[in-house]
Amino acid sequence: MTLCPRFYDRTLHSVSHGSIERWNLDKAVLPPLNDENRTTIRMNVQAKTAEFAETLPAGVYAEKVLSVNHYTDRLFRFSMTRPAGFRFRSGEFAMIGLMVEGKPVYRAYSIASPSWADELEFFSIKVPNGPLTQHLQKIETGDTVLMRKKPTGTLVLDALTPGKRLYMFSTGTGIAPFASLIRDPETYEKFDEVILTHTCREVAELQYGFDLVSEIRNDELLSEIVGDKLTHYATVTREPFERSGRITDLIAGGKLVSDLGVPSLDPVTDRGMICGSTEMLKDTKALLEQAGMTEGANNKPSEFVIERAFVG
Ligand code: A2P
């Protein structure tokens, strides 16, 4: 992979955040949290994770939390140290975990930071009673988080054939792998235009994406590389906003391309990446196929790719 040489030498602090949790969480029944037991549970979980970290099995890293930022009561982001020697391609995911009741519990999380960053960042939902996120949402700076050593994933530039315009279609925390890719200089070496669509139920859930793009614009090095190639197209489905509607409806009705002022989806020039819920993946994939595009994979690059790891 070719990276802008300057990116080898710099430290980027908390530019962004992102990750994803599997939707098919188990339905473990646990006591409701209140102010009294919340701290105790958090400390128990963290103590066990830190203890476990001292006798780590092969294949697991134990990393320190560097920052936590809560966006809404459903969304938060955190960053943690990047292990020496941990390599990943922008857009990939890793298994993130904590010790819960004596056992490590892991979920797939897209790495939201780009491959050149010093820190690892993640964007997470908070699921009440979610086996991992009910604990993970309480992490604080200095806590220990586990990560399995091998990242993987299909939302990588290598899985796409060369094209002119790259669409990244996301809903909810599905923006995370794209948070990584839109900060990777290689994305802009390979594509003339990068269109990030992000659809959420409510306006507050879009905030992470707005922060991310404004941080890119305010970053001297990145803004120079990104130039005017990146378009952020944010829509909301359950309250009034300047742009509204599901991305699938906006594609099917032609509104997306007319708003963007670009030609209809075309397999010769356009490439796509999709990340969201199972239904969103299925419906968006059908629209891209209708436009004549075919699905690719790491071992067979083509015109669009889907991240299936996160859905049930
Ligand atoms: P909607 O509000 O109409 O359900 P969720 O939080 O459930 O994952 O949803 C995130 C966003 O994805 C919401 O705006 C939701 O719209 C939208 N969405 C849900 N299902 C689909 C689908 N099949 N195709 C496109 N967008 C979808």
287 lines ligand 1 (CB under 6 A): no
* Protein residue whose Cα sits closest to atom 21 of ligand 1: 280
- Is residue 201 within 6 Å of ligand 1 at its C-beta? yes
Residue 148 has pLDDT above 60, yes or no: yes
- For residue 311, is pLDDT > 70? no
Which residues are CB-contacts of 5 (< 8 A; sequence separation ≥ 6)? none
Where is pLDDT greater, at 202 or 41?
Answer: 202
State how beta strands 270-275 and 165-171 pair: parallel
Q: Is the pLDDT of residue 43 over 80?
A: no
**Burial of 52 (C-beta count, 10 Å sphere; 0-12/13-18/19+):** buried
CA of 171 to the centre of ligand 1 (A): 7
- Cα(172) to ligand 1 centroid in Å equals 8
Q: Is the CB of 10 under 6 A from ligand 1?
A: no
Residue pLDDT, tens place only, 84-104: 999 999 999 999 999 998 899
User: Does 247 sit in the ligand 1 pocket, CB within 6 Å?
Assistant: yes
**Which residue has a Cα nearest atom 23 of ligand 1?**
280
Q: Is 246 in the pocket of ligand 1 (CB under 6 A)?
A: yes
pLDDT at position 44: 53
Q: Does residue 280's CB lie within 6 angstroms of at least one atom of ligand 1?
A: yes
Task: Check if 279 has its Cβ closer than 6 Å to any atom of ligand 1.
Answer: yes
Task: Fill in the amino acid letter for 142.
Answer: G
Question: Strand 304-306 vs strand 165-171: parallel, antiparallel, or unpaired?
Answer: unpaired
Handedness of CA 209, 210, 211, 216 (dihedral sign): positive
- For ligand 1, whether the C-beta of 283 sits within 6 Å is yes
Q: What is the reported pLDDT for 48? A: 75
pLDDT in tens, 263-304: 999 999 999 999 999 999 999 999 999 999 999 999 999 999
Going from the Cα of 173 to the center of ligand 1, the distance in angstroms, rounded, reads 11
Q: What is the mean pLDDT of residues 204-218?
A: 96
To test the pocket of ligand 1, the residue of 280, 287, 311 to mutate (highest count of ligand atoms within 8 Å of its CB) is 280
Round to whole Å and give the CA distance between 129 and 217: 38
Say what percent of the chain tops pLDDT 90.
78
Q: Is 281 in the pocket of ligand 1 (CB under 6 A)?
A: no
- Atom number in ligand 1 closest to CA 172: 10
Rounded to the nearest 5°, which phi and psi values hold at 169?
-100, 120
